[in-house]
Structures are given as structure tokens and as C-alpha cells.
Amino acid sequence: MDQALPQKDVIKTKDCKGLKVGATTCGYSHKGDLIMAGCSDGSIQIWDTRSQTFYRPSVTIEKAHDML
């Protein structure tokens, strides 16, 4: 893979106040239609790739996991 591939979109995780928050883990569904991120504020954020917009997650679950 010698050629650089251009990126199409960048997903930035944010907390409920709109401030940047770090993603501690990421994953995607087996069909590739969902992208998930576990964030350092304890939230899980899910984007639907079929919507063609990544400004906001389609689903946000606040306080979904303990922060370390």
C-alpha cells in the first residue's frame, strides 16, 4: 500500500456540552453501516454511515460505562 488514500470525513467525538472528548475505543458493525466510539466521558456514540453526515452521532448513550 504505497499510495496515500484521501480521507472523506473526520469524526470528532464531543460531550453533551459540545466540547471535544477523547475516544477510548472504536468499532464498526459487520456491514459497515454503523461506527461506534466509547468515549472518555463515559458515553457511547454511534454514527449511521447511511445518513452521509457525521456532524452529530445518530445515537448517544451518556454514562454508558465507567471512566477509569
pTM of the prediction? Answer: 0.82
DSSP assignment letter at 41: T
In a domain, 56, yes or no: yes
Host domain of residue 45: 23-61
- 1-30 per-position pLDDT tens digit: 568 878 788 899 999 899 999 999 999 999
What share of residues in the chain are helix, strand, coil (percent, to 5)? 5, 30, 65
In a domain, 5, yes or no: no
In the sheet that holds 34-39, the strands lie side by side as 23-28, 34-39, 44-48, 59-61
Domain count, the chain: 1
In a domain, 11, yes or no: no
In a domain, 33, yes or no: yes
Best CA proximity match to 23, nearest among 5, 6, 45: 45
In a domain, 29, yes or no: yes
